[in-house]
Amino acid sequence: MRHPSATAGRPEPLRSAIRPGPGTVVRGVLLRLVLVLVAATGLAVLVPGATANAVGETIVGTLQTGRSGPIEGIEVTVTTAAGDEVDTVETDEDGKFAIEVPGAGQYTVTIDADSLPEGVVITGEDSRTVTVDPGRRQPVQFGLNDGTQGAGSGNVEAIQLFVDGLRFGLLIAICAVGLSLIFGTTGLTNFAHGELVTIGALFAWWVNTGLGVPIIPAGIIAMIGGAAFGALNELGLWRPLRRRGTGLVAALVVSIGLSLLLRYLIQIVYGGFSNPYSGLGTSRAVDYGLFRLTNQSLVSIVISVVVLVLVALMLQRTKIGKAMRAVSDNRDLAASSGINVNRVILVVWMMGGGLAALGGVLLGLSDQVRWDMGFQLLLLMFAGVTLGGLGTAYGALVGSIIVGVFVQMSTLVIPNDIKYVGGLLLLIVILVIRPQGILGSRARIG
C-alpha cells in the first residue's frame, strides 16, 4: 500500500486538467447516438421485420403524371415476401391507394401496366419492395411517364426534389429554431423536443376532427397549447433541476427518459394509427412548369417563410429577442446586466413549444398524424442545428434547409425508403469535420 505522502507533490493527471466543455460533451454523445441509430436503421432495411401484431400497418401511395395529374382506376396489388397476395385495390380520384397489411415486414407492391391510360408507361420496374414498420403507413413511389419526360427529364426531377426538399427543410427549421434557442439559453440538448412536435399535431387533429374546428384555427389553438406545454416543461421539470445543480449530461439523460415516456404514453392514448386532418379539400398537385406542388405544400412553404421571418425580426428588433440573444451568448453577464434570466428561459420554452406544435401541424398536412412523427424528425432537427451551429437560431434555419434539400435529393441515388439515413450520415460528417457548424464559432477546450 502506497503512503499518501508519496503522491502529495505530484501534479494531477492531464485528463483532469483539460476538461471538455458542454458543447464538446453534447457533440460526443450525439455522435455516438447517431452511429447506433444509423446502424439500427441499416439493419432494419436489410433484415425483414417480424410480423408483429401492431395496429395500422398500411402501404400507401399516389400515382400521377405531370400532364394528367392523379390517375384513377390503376390496379395495385400487394403480396407478402412468400408471394401470397394481400389485397388488390384501385386508385381513387386523387390517384391515391391504401392497402392494409397483416403486420410488419417486407411486401412487394405491383401496379398493373394494362390498367394504365393510353400514353402512360411505367418508368423502371412495375413492382417495389418495401419494409413496413409496426404501426406505420409506409409510402411507396412509382415513376410514370406520360410523354412529357424525355431529354432533360433528370433535371426536371432534380428541380422537383429540390422544391420538395426546400419545403421539408423549412418545416424542419420551424421545429429546430426552438430546439436551438433552448440549447443556447440553457445548454440542454432536449431529446424530448420531437414529442412537442407530435403533441402539437395531435392536439390540432383532435380540435379539427373531434370539435369540428377548421384546420387554420385548430393550428393556432395547437400553437397556444404547445406554448403552454413548453412552459409546463420548464416550470415543472427543468427549472427545478437547474436549481438542484443537475449537470448537462444528466439533464440530457433525463430528456431521453422524458421522450420515451411521452412517446409511448401518446401511443397508448392515441394508438398506432395514421389519421389525416379533415376539410383539406383535394390533394391534387398543381403544375407550375418545372415542378408540381399541392395546395397544402404551397401553404406550408408560405406559412414557414412568414413565421421564420417574424421570428428573425423578433430576435433582432424586440427587447425580449435581444434578451434571448444576450442570455444565449453569456448567461452570467446577461444576469449582471439586469436581465431576468429565468423569465427569458421561460419565454424561450414557450416559443419553442409553439413553433414545434406548428411544425407538427404542417408535417401532418403532408404525412398525416402519427404517434411517432416527431421522433422521426428529431435527428434531422439535430442535424440542422448542428450543421448551422449549436445555439444559434439563424444557424438552425440555414442548417435545416440544407438538411431538408439533401435528404430529398439523395433519393436520386438511394431508395426513397432509406432517405433519412443520408441525413444522419450528413450529421456524422458534420460532427467529425466541423463540429461548430456553419455559423458557430470554435470553442477552446482546456
What pLDDT score was predicted for residue 46? 35
**Residue 24 belongs to a domain:** no
Q: Using only C-alpha atoms, what is the Rg of the chain?
A: 24
User: Confidence band (pLDDT; 50, 70, 90) for 68?
Assistant: low
If asked whether residues 234 and 86 sit together in one domain, one would say: no
- Partnered with residue 110 across adjacent β-strands are 77, 127
User: Are 249 and 386 within one domain?
Assistant: yes
Rounded to the nearest integer, the mean pLDDT of the chain is 80
Q: How far is CA 142 from CA 62, 139, 211, 341, in A?
A: 8, 10, 37, 53
Q: Do 136 and 181 fall within a single domain?
A: no
Gap between the Cα atoms of 222 and 227, Å rounded: 9
pLDDT at 159: 87
User: Is a pLDDT exceeding 70 seen at residue 5?
Assistant: no
Question: What value does the mean pLDDT take over residues 240-248?
Answer: 92
Evaluate whether 180 touches 390 at the Cβ level (below 8 Å). yes
Per-residue pLDDT at 67: 57
CATH number, domain containing residue 366: 1.10.3470
Q: What is the predicted pLDDT for the residue at 310?
A: 94
Mind spelling out the 3-state secondary structure of the chain? CCCHHHHCCCCCCHHHHCCCCHHHHHHHHHHHHHHHHHHHHHHHHHCCCCCCCCCCCEEEEECEECCCEECCCCEEEEEECCCCEEEEEECCCCCEEEEECCCCEEEEEEECHHHCCCCCEEECCCEEEEEECCCCEEECCCEEECCCCCCCHHHHHHHHHHHHHHHHHHHHHHHHHHHHHHHHHHCCCCCCHHHHHHHHHHHHHHHHHHCCCCHHHHHHHHHHHHHHHHHHHHHHHHHHHHHCCCCHHHHHHHHHHHHHHHHHHHHHHHCCCCECCCCCCCCCEEECCCCEEEHHHHHHHHHHHHHHHHHHHHHHHCHHHHHHHHHHHCHHHHHHCCCCHHHHHHHHHHHHHHHHHHHHHHHHHHHCECCCHHHHHHHHHHHHHHHHCCCCHHHHHHHHHHHHHHHHHHHHCCCHHHHHHHHHHHHHHHHHHCCCCCCCCCCCCC
pLDDT tens-digit series, residues 294-353: 888 899 999 999 999 999 999 999 999 999 989 988 888 999 989 999 999 999 999 999
Q: Which of 71-80, 137-146, 170-179, 180-189 has the lowest mean pLDDT?
A: 137-146
Same domain, 118 and 236: no
The size of the chain, in residues, is: 446
Mean pLDDT of 171-185: 92
Looking at per-residue pLDDT, the higher value among 17 and 161 belongs to 161
Residues 308 and 371 in one domain: yes
Instruction: Tell whether 239 and 275 lie within a shared domain.
Output: yes
Q: What does the pLDDT read at residue 240?
A: 95
Q: Compute how many other C-beta atoms are within 10 angstroms of the C-beta atom of residue 216.
A: 14
CB 128, CB 140: distance < 8 Å:
yes
Same domain, 226 and 95: no
Q: Is residue 6 situated within a structural domain? A: no
Please indicate, yes or no, whether residues 104 and 166 belong to a single structural domain of this protein: no
> For 388-397, how does the pLDDT look when each residue is reduced to its tens digit (9 = 90+)?
887 677 888 8
Confidence (pLDDT) at 236: 94
**Residue of 45 and 428 predicted with greater confidence:** 428
Most confident range (mean pLDDT) of 35-49, 148-162, 366-380 is 366-380
Least confident of 167-181, 183-197, 272-286, 402-416: 272-286
- Which segment of 117-126, 229-238, 324-333 scores lowest on mean pLDDT? 117-126
Both 248 and 392 in one domain: the answer is: yes
- 374 and 404 housed in the same domain: yes
**Burial of 336 (C-beta count, 10 Å sphere; 0-12/13-18/19+):** exposed
Whether 442 is in a domain gets the answer no
- Asked if residue 317 is part of any domain, the answer here is yes
Q: Which residue has the higher pLDDT, 193 or 96?
A: 193
Among 202, 191, 172, 222, which residue's Cα sits nearest to residue 370?
A: 202
Whether 53 is covered by a domain: the verdict is no
What is residue 303's predicted lDDT score, i.e. its pLDDT? 94
- 60 is a domain residue: no
Is residue 14 a part of any domain in this protein? no
* Mean pLDDT across 374-401: 86
Q: Are residues 37 and 83 in the same domain?
A: no
Number of domains in the chain: 2
Query: Is 13 within the bounds of a domain?
Result: no
* pLDDT of the residue at 51: 33
Do 325 and 398 belong together in one domain?
Answer: yes
Predicted pLDDT of residue 441: 58
Confidence of residue 379 (pLDDT cuts 50, 70, 90): confident
Least confident of 28-32, 309-313, 376-380: 28-32
Residue 371: give the domain boundaries: 32-46+156-280+289-433
Residue 189 CB burial class (10 angstroms; 0-12, 13-18, ≥19): buried
Task: State the CATH number of the domain containing residue 129.
Answer: 2.60.40.10
Report percent pLDDT > 90 for the chain: 37
> Does residue 18 or residue 98 have the better pLDDT?
98
- With 80 as the cut, is the pLDDT of residue 378 above it? yes
Q: Which residue has the higher pLDDT, 314 or 421?
A: 314
Q: How far is CA 110 from CA 80, 89, 98, 134, in A?
A: 11, 11, 13, 22
Among 119-133, 147-161, 428-442, the range scoring the smallest mean pLDDT is: 147-161
For range 53-68, the mean pLDDT: 69
**Does the pLDDT of residue 152 top 80, yes or no?**
no
